[in-house]
A = this chain, B = another copy of it.
């Protein structure tokens, strides 16, 4: 696939194709594929090993270090290599050229690979056994400004990293993250397209606005008052593709969500979007397990399938959350029975309430490692985020308990409690009493906080190198609306099908209907969710109109489609940014996105969003409503 320049027919002389090789000394690498194909280099820096000794190589890269005019460390995406600067008089000019180099300048070096002398090998460097004796040097570009050094150990502020993202991306960690992401996605495509017959279909991002879709960006069109919107997911399109008989669809779909300044969210993000016809939930789940196994990076801990599966009810009961991190215990335990005869008034009151309970978690060695201010912090979280009290009990060596409530607890209760919680000396018990809907999420939250606090004290709780996948299933199809609890809203979205044996309850007790929904959780993060969809038009209409009290005319095209021979179908969407960030162990999804926005939605490099003059808005028939007072706050550097 590489064609020597002189075989290329050009209809006129003096074109770029006849001059280039002559004027710039460019040549093609002899390899017709690989990382140096079609390039002016012959090899990458990082690939050189003993096997190249004696070969002449041409390298292109950045000057990482220049040491005492003796050698240069050259860097490209693949790694570092040592280039020896010749010192004999015949190479005087070459030596001078090297010594004038500035760090991060871009050079082309030709030279011969040789073994480093014994004693000078560097086993910490993949190319540490060899060096390249420079024979020629071409400075391709200089580097004149550098707001920070391109060294992995140099700490930079997030704002500076974002402003100079093109420098930040030179770090080996960011190169690794972006390349791992690319490889992962490529393997996913191979699995879906080549192994399972999926069709990669692009769907529009200029779509119709969902009425009341407060999180949708609007895009003014050239028609007055008419707006597109940037969809939060291709949900309608993927279903319509199934109605269209496309059978198996997937897309790495760009999605948009305007959420203001939520931490670690991005206004645009990517999901692995999948939909299949003639499949059930078990089929989709097996597909995804296979997908992740197939595409899983080889240098990471292996994952085994099938993934464990937990009901929503079990997750809430044992972990107080619908996305449990199953890498560690500290499960919630209901100790209502233990306290049923308690003298402690507020505990008794709580139990007597309908849905009231006493629950606890046991933090192993918590009493040993957590300090008074940690307990205060936990109590503070309980109060501010859940409007709840929590009691911290330190289990002492002799089995006694240190707690404000300690003296109010009978010995039998105490022993029963310790037994039930499998608590040992040095453990910490966190106990809360109240309505189950509040106590569970509270203890679920405190469980995670305790893990973090312990890790902060050097106690390993969650192994960052293991990957615990978990399916959560049997979600309720509807939940009470937060502001009008007598009204139901979809737990996920209105297109999720009810469980077949619950379908009759739609018409009588819709709040009891479970959905054919499945969430995929990894190390306590929800990384995917999907469902079998409603494919019956009448059922979809009933759900929209009678249960959700929505205007079905807004979805008339979908309802018509379901009435036109819609196959049974279902799908899933995986959050790619989050998945990759967990795999590489990044603390933020910003570290797996080439050009992320700041938490305020700003691009700190190009300064987007920016002011647009009124006259440039005129074609869109909009004008800016300037608020009377400006509120400051900005995260630009």
User: In the bound complex, how far is the Cα of B612 from the Cα of A219, in angstroms?
Assistant: 10
A24 engages B500 (CB within 8 Å): yes
Distance in angstroms from A312 CB to nearest chain B CB is 9
Distance in angstroms from A173 CB to nearest chain B CB is 13
A196 engages B33 (CB within 8 Å): yes
Within 8 A of B (CB), among A588-615: 593-595, 597, 601, 603, 605-612
Q: Is A493 an interface residue (CB 8 A)?
A: no
Q: Is A452 an interface residue (CB 8 A)?
A: no
Distance in angstroms from A350 CB to nearest chain B CB is 26
Q: Which residues of B contact A568 (CB under 8 A)?
A: 40, 106, 140-141
Distance in angstroms from A4 CB to nearest chain B CB is 9
Further contacts, 15 of them, CB under 8 A, given A141-B535, A207-B603: A1-B293, A17-B282, A20-B281, A23-B500, A39-B278, A60-B278, A140-B278, A144-B563, A145-B560, A164-B564, A166-B240, A202-B270, A206-B267, A208-B609, A222-B258
Which residue on B lies nearest to A200, using beta carbons? Answer: B182
Q: Which of A65-73, A185-193, A357-365, A522-530 lines the interface with chain B?
A: A185-193
Q: Is A34 an interface residue (CB 8 A)?
A: yes
Q: Which residues of B contact A622 (CB under 8 A)?
A: 220, 617, 622-625
A207 engages B143 (CB within 8 Å): no
Distance in angstroms from A66 CB to nearest chain B CB is 14
Within 8 A of B (CB), among A213-235: 214, 217-230
Within 8 A of B (CB), among A165-222: 165-170, 175, 178-179, 181-183, 185-186, 189-190, 193-197, 199-209, 212, 214, 217-222
A197 engages B625 (CB within 8 Å): no
User: In the bound complex, how far is the Cα of B226 from the Cα of A597, in angstroms?
Assistant: 15
B280 engages A20 (CB within 8 Å): yes
Within 8 A of B (CB), among A60-82: 60, 62, 75-77
Q: Is A399 an interface residue (CB 8 A)?
A: no
Instruction: Give the interface size class of chain A.
Output: 35 or more
Closest 9 CB pairs of A and B: A1-B290, A169-B244, A208-B608, A35-B197, A143-B565, A38-B283, A226-B609, A104-B565, A12-B311
Q: Kindly name the residue among A8, A105, A206, A565 whose own CB sees the greatest number of chain B CB atoms within 10 A.
A: A565
B40 engages A278 (CB within 8 Å): yes
B501 engages A314 (CB within 8 Å): no
Which residue on B lies nearest to A474, using beta carbons? Answer: B15
B245 engages A145 (CB within 8 Å): no
Which residue on B lies nearest to A41, using beta carbons? Answer: B278
Q: Which residues of B contact A289 (CB under 8 A)?
A: 1, 3
Q: Which residues of B contact A506 (CB under 8 A)?
A: none
- Our pick among B143, B221, B228, B294 for the contact of A563 (Cβ within 8 Å) is B143
Chosen A-B contacts, 5 in total, with CB atoms closer than 8 Å, are A34-B195, A175-B245, A204-B268, A217-B228, A227-B609
A16 engages B281 (CB within 8 Å): yes
Which residue on B lies nearest to A577, using beta carbons? Answer: B202
Q: Which of A302-310, A332-340, A379-387 lines the interface with chain B?
A: A302-310
Q: Is A279 an interface residue (CB 8 A)?
A: yes
User: In the bound complex, how far is the Cα of B536 from the Cα of A143, in angstroms?
Assistant: 10
Distance in angstroms from A255 CB to nearest chain B CB is 11
Which residue on B lies nearest to A247, using beta carbons? Answer: B77
- Our pick among B168, B220, B311 for the contact of A218 (Cβ within 8 Å) is B220
A308 engages B62 (CB within 8 Å): no
Q: Is A286 an interface residue (CB 8 A)?
A: yes
Chain copies in the assembled complex: 2
Q: Which residues of B contact A256 (CB under 8 A)?
A: 206
A175 engages B246 (CB within 8 Å): yes
Within 8 A of B (CB), among A300-326: 305-306, 308-311, 313-314
Q: Is A19 an interface residue (CB 8 A)?
A: yes
User: In the bound complex, how far is the Cα of B225 from the Cα of A169, in angstroms?
Assistant: 31
Q: Kindly name the residue among A248, A594, A620 whose own CB sees the greatest number of chain B CB atoms within 10 A.
A: A594
Known: A167-B244, A194-B186, A473-B17. A40 touches B280 (CB 8 A): yes
Q: Kindly name the residue among A5, A106, A183 whose own CB sees the greatest number of chain B CB atoms within 10 A.
A: A106
B166 engages A561 (CB within 8 Å): yes
Q: Which residues of B contact A23 (CB under 8 A)?
A: 500-501
User: In the bound complex, how far is the Cα of B227 from the Cα of A560, in angstroms?
Assistant: 37
Q: Is A626 an interface residue (CB 8 A)?
A: yes
Known: A3-B289, A40-B280, A621-B624. A241 touches B608 (CB 8 A): no
A609 engages B221 (CB within 8 Å): yes
Type the 1/0 row for A237-265, where 1 means its CB is closer than 8 Å to any CB of B: 10011011111100010101010100000
User: In the bound complex, how far is the Cα of B20 from the Cα of A501, in angstroms?
Assistant: 10
Q: Is A482 an interface residue (CB 8 A)?
A: no
Q: Which residues of B contact A168 (CB under 8 A)?
A: 244
Q: Which residues of B contact A170 (CB under 8 A)?
A: 244-245
Q: Which residues of B contact A223 (CB under 8 A)?
A: 609
B145 engages A39 (CB within 8 Å): no
Q: Kindly name the residue among A2, A185, A221 whose own CB sees the greatest number of chain B CB atoms within 10 A.
A: A221
Q: Is A619 an interface residue (CB 8 A)?
A: yes
B281 engages A565 (CB within 8 Å): no
Q: Is A423 an interface residue (CB 8 A)?
A: no
User: In the bound complex, how far is the Cα of B217 from the Cα of A230, in angstroms?
Assistant: 12
B204 engages A245 (CB within 8 Å): no
